[in-house]
Amino acid sequence: MANVVFDNVSKNYDDLRAIDRMSFEIYDMEFFVILGQSGAGKTTTLKMVAGIEPASEGTILIGGNPINHLTPEKRNVAMVFESYALYPHLSVYDNIAFPFHAPENRKSNEDIEHSVKHIACMLGIDQLLGRKPSELSGGQRQRVALGRALVRRPSVFLMDEPLSHLDAKLRNQMRKELKSMRKSFGTTILYVTHDYNEAMALGDRIAILHKGKIQQIDTPDDIYYHPGNIVIAQSLGDPPMNFLSGELSFLEERFSLRTKNLFIPLDFVRRQDLKSHIGKSVTLGIRPNHIQINTDKSVNSFQIPATVFVQEYLGDDSIISVKIEDAMFMILSTPEKRYAIDENVFLSLNQEHTHLFLSETGESLQIDSGKSI
């Protein structure tokens, strides 16, 4: 039960800068998710909070107290490891009870038994207490790892990709369970994942971490609908966002994107200060579910001509890959309509959900300091 503050924290491994000046606050009782590719520095961040890795620079505070100098056992944090890291020689019961035998949080045997049983019931593993980790399935081990972390009341609960080794079905199921149990954790949670579904489903706020740098911290919806740069835009969504590069031009008081053969009007761009970017290379971004695909050319509104590359039928919906000049676009559509390979189609973009980025830096041209166009 405490907030966590990163104040200008960096981490160097020899010459490599794994974390670069990270500053943010995780509020008390918040479910905070760090989303990033492998190698982005997510696990390093967690390990710095746990005290397994020392921070090279900056200060980490838990509940207002700097903890840099404390060894792991003094920090009162609990951690669930990606690999679960169960103690193979101990039974499930002893694994969960293990923290209570440490001098830091010793308890009487009755208290231990009570706590272990309580947590085991909550996680549905009360029948497995006598088993060894090697006798458990992946999902059960996962629960034991959760149980061991939850059994005491840590001030911060750290989770390192706890679901990544489960198969797809179990993962989706556990995700929902985590979310519904979340209130009973009663503590601040720092959760690390590479799966945007987990991040969006679980997080109160998400921090996007890329190459050791925090890109954006926001609520899931804000990050999804108002990404601050291309990297952020790419990290959420399945299929991922589509991009088309061209030159920003301004004709007859209208902005448009000029590619090799196309002139795409950008009516959603209203900021006049973009005029300074005219002539620069920009990238248009749009999500697969914000594109409409038509077989006939409409006369009323602008449409982008494209040819069908391939269509994938998925039952619930369908993904149509099309080529616009050399760029591949994916469109999420209903499964009923079928398209032939190399068929000519016309795309209309939902202007409200179209994004524009500066190609050179990747930064969004729509988002100022305050998130509006």
Q: For the segment 95-124, give every residue that binds other proteins (CB under 8 A).
A: 98-99, 101-105
Pairwise CA distance, residues 309 & 341, whole Å: 6
- Using the rule CB under 8 A, which residue among 165, 213, 280, 353 binds other proteins? 165
Q: Is 161 left (phi over 0), alpha (psi -120 to 50) or beta?
A: left
CB of 132 to other proteins, least distance (A): 7
Our CB check for other proteins shows the closer of 104 and 368 to be 104
Which residues, in sequence order, are bridge partners of residue 344? 307
If the CB atoms of residues 185 and 224 are measured against other proteins, the closer one turns out to be 224
How many C-alpha atoms does 63 have within 13 Å on its Cβ side? 11
Q: Which amino acid is at 143?
A: R
Per CB under 8 A, does 31 bind other proteins? Answer: no
Output 124 or 138, the one with its CB closest to other proteins.
138
Candidates 107, 179, 211, 353: give the one binding other proteins (CB under 8 A).
179
Instruction: Report in angstroms how near the CB of residue 169 gets to other proteins at its nearest.
Output: 7
Q: Could you say whether residue 155 binds other proteins (CB under 8 A)? A: no
**Does position 238 bind other proteins by CB under 8 A?**
yes
DSSP 180: H
Q: What's the closest the beta carbon of residue 96 comes to other proteins, in angstroms?
A: 10
Pick from 66, 111, 135, 281: which binds other proteins (CB under 8 A)?
A: 135
Chain centroid offset of residue 14 CA: 28
- CA-nearest of 92, 84, 73, 86 to 154 is 73
Q: How far is the CB of 335 from other proteins (least distance, A)?
A: 8
**Where in 183-222 is the site for other proteins (CB under 8 A)?**
194, 196-197, 200-201, 220-221
Our finding on whether 134 is near other proteins (CB under 8 A) is yes
368/269 Cα distance (integer angstroms): 13
Q: Which of 330, 356, 358, 367 binds other proteins (CB under 8 A)?
A: 330
Closest CA to 132 of 86, 163, 165: 86
Length of the chain counted residue by residue: 373
The residue type at 1: M
> Cβ of residue 343: shortest distance to other proteins, in angstroms?
13
CB of 201 to other proteins, least distance (A): 4
51 touching other proteins, by CB under 8 A: yes
Among 50, 120, 209, 248, binds other proteins (CB under 8 A): 50
Using rule CB under 8 A, residue 132 touches other proteins: yes
Told to check if 228 binds other proteins by CB under 8 A, we report no
Pick one of 263, 295, 313, 337: the residue that binds other proteins (CB under 8 A): 313
Dihedral angle computed from the Cα positions of residues 340, 343, 348 and 350, in that order, rounded to the nearest 10 degrees:
30
Question: Site for other proteins (CB under 8 A): how many residues?
Answer: 76
| Closer residue to other proteins in complex, CB, 67/269 | 67
Among residues 64, 315, 369, 372, which is the contact residue for other proteins, using CB under 8 A? 315
User: Which among 198, 146, 145, 192 has a CA at the least distance from the CA of 172?
Assistant: 198
Cα–Cα dist 42/32, whole Å: 12
Gyration radius of the chain's alpha carbons? 25
User: Residues 365, 278: contact at Cβ < 8 Å?
Assistant: no
Binding mask of the shown chain, residues 267 to 306, with x at each position contacting other proteins by CB under 8 A: --------------------xxx-----------------
CB 207, CB 217: distance < 8 Å: yes
Q: What angle, rounded to 10 degrees, do the helices at 138-150 and 109-123 form? A: 140
Stretch that binds other proteins, among 60-68, 162-170, 294-302, 343-351 (CB under 8 A): 162-170
Fill in the per-residue mask, 69 to 88: x = in contact with other proteins (CB under 8 A), - = not in contact.
Answer: --xxx-x-xxx-xxxxxxxx
Instruction: Please check whether residue 207 is in contact with residue 216, taking contact to mean a CB–CB distance below 8 angstroms.
Output: yes
Contact status: 316 vs other proteins (CB under 8 A)? yes
Distance CA 187, CA 315 (A): 40
- C-alpha closest to that of 243 among 338, 313, 328: 328
- At closest approach, how far in Å is the CB of 214 from other proteins? 21
